[in-house]
Amino acid sequence: MDFQLSDEQVAIRALAKEFTNKEILPVAKKYDEEEAFPEEVFQKLREIGLFNLAVPEEYGGPGVDKISQALIVEEISRGCAGIATSCEGNSLVSYPIIIGGTEEQKKEYLGRLTYGGQFGSFSLTEPEAGSDVSSLSTNIEIKGDEYILNGEKMFITNANYSNFYVVLAKHKDSIEKRFTALIVDRDLPGVSVGEKEKKMGLRASATGSLRFEDVRVPIKNRIGNEGEGFKIFMQALAYGRPMVGALSVGIAQGAYEAALNYSKERKQFGMPISQFQSIQFMIADMAMNIEAARLLVYKSAYLLQQGTPSPTIGAFAKCFASDTAMKVTTDAVQIFGGNGYIRDYPVEKYMRDAKITQIYEGTNQIQRVVMAKEILK
């Protein structure tokens, strides 16, 4: 067992830290307030090789290892979790293609993300199917060498900016539930994209809905075989969840640093509030839980890197880190007192951003379902 990062990982983390300090922290508040999509930041991230983190080098990605991916996601998220979420949207949409796609699909669609500078969206959730994936109603029928796709998706990261969607659909005429994964080009007739959602947090990230009306998707755009879609999507989530853990650690770290600094400057009863044990205990708990969350993230990322992803360890990491982010950001607001509730200070944004990490990519209740299934089987 070795807790040391490699020299390369240390250098990548330093690059991401410097970028975040210079290019994200100064603009995070502005993008949050304006609910604007930070294209300029994404472009700069592309230029320095900190974008499309899951895409291998042969398809134009940075080809970083999974620990490095977690380090970068944590750093970007420390600056702005909305920006980190939109970045990781491109990772999430890559996983099904990397897991089950043909060489041609990888070249075309991973290439669109990298060489083409495009976004793509992992499209799973529906108005009536969130946690319960297998109840989804988006459906396909085969006609000649095409699938006819109908249905709706919602809460889709980057939907409004994406060039293609990786969609899970069920076979309309099948008695048992059969699911197939398809790559759907945005410019196909019958694809429409709804308005951007107005969110509590992650306001720099765009979230939208999709509608498919008799969309003719070529059979060559199917990922894997018919009926393999559910497993491909579940495997993709097993790759994505450790990175939600990393993103949550970044939020917690940002709020912790802000609260620590503030506690040393803010004076009450004639001394900095950091001198009071009530504040010290909160700071100690924050540091302890962030470190524990980070270690779970590293372990889950390490397993991904070994090619042995563990949905259970990934669920531990996602669940523990996001609960930690919520607790740490809430305590950070408490340490800031009344100022914590004011938008001129940074911690209320961390708290708003933290909340979604307990919900998206599988609620923390679903993470516990995943854990318990494995533990009890």
From 70-78, 167-175, 269-277, 360-368, span contacting ligand COS (CB under 6 A): 360-368
Judged by CB under 6 A, which stretch of 63-71, 137-145, 260-268, 359-367 contacts ligand COS?
A: 359-367
Residues 6+ apart with CB under 8 A from 76: 16, 19, 20, 24, 45, 50, 83, 84, 87, 250
125 binds ligand COS (CB under 6 A): yes
Residue nearest to ligand COS (CB): 362
- Residue from 43, 131, 192, 280 in contact with ligand COS (CB under 6 A): 131
The region of 20-28, 107-115, 321-329, 363-371 touching ligand COS under the rule CB under 6 A is: 363-371
Binding mask 105-124 for ligand COS (x = CB under 6 A): -------------------x
Kindly write out the interface string for residues 134-163 of this chain, putting x where it contacts ligand COS by CB under 6 A and - elsewhere.
x-----------------------------
> Is residue 336 packed enough to be buried (19+ CB in 10 Å), middle (13-18) or exposed (0-12)?
buried
- Report yes or no: 167 and 184 within 8 Å, Cβ to Cβ: yes
CA–CA distance from 224 to each of 14, 97, 124, 166, 326 (Å)?
A: 38, 9, 16, 12, 37
**CA-CA distance, 157 to 23, in Å (whole number)?**
22
**Which is nearer to ligand COS, 159 or 333 (by Cβ)?**
159
Question: Which lies closer to ligand COS via its Cβ, residue 85 or residue 289?
Answer: 85
Tokens encoding 93: 């949409």
Q: Candidates 1-9, 139-147, 266-274, 365-373: pick the segment binding ligand COS (CB under 6 A).
A: 365-373
Question: Which residues between 2 and 61 bind ligand COS (CB under 6 A)?
Answer: none
208 lies in the site for ligand COS, by CB under 6 A = no
Q: Rounded to an integer, what distance in angstroms lies between the CA atom of residue 40 and that of residue 23?
A: 10
* Closest CA relative to residue 354, chosen from 223, 239, 254: 254
The residues in 299-328 that bind ligand COS, with binding defined as CB under 6 A, are 311
How far is Cα 363 from Cα 326, in angstroms, rounded to an integer? 13
Catalytic residues: 361
Ramachandran category for residue 362: left, alpha or beta (phi over 0 → left; psi -120 to 50 → alpha): left
Cα 358 to Cα 173, 200, 349: the distances in Å are 36, 14, 16
Task: Check binding of 237 to ligand COS (CB under 6 A).
Answer: yes
Point out which residues bind ligand COS (CB under 6 A): 124-125, 131, 133-134, 230-231, 234-235, 237-238, 311, 360-362, 366, 369-370
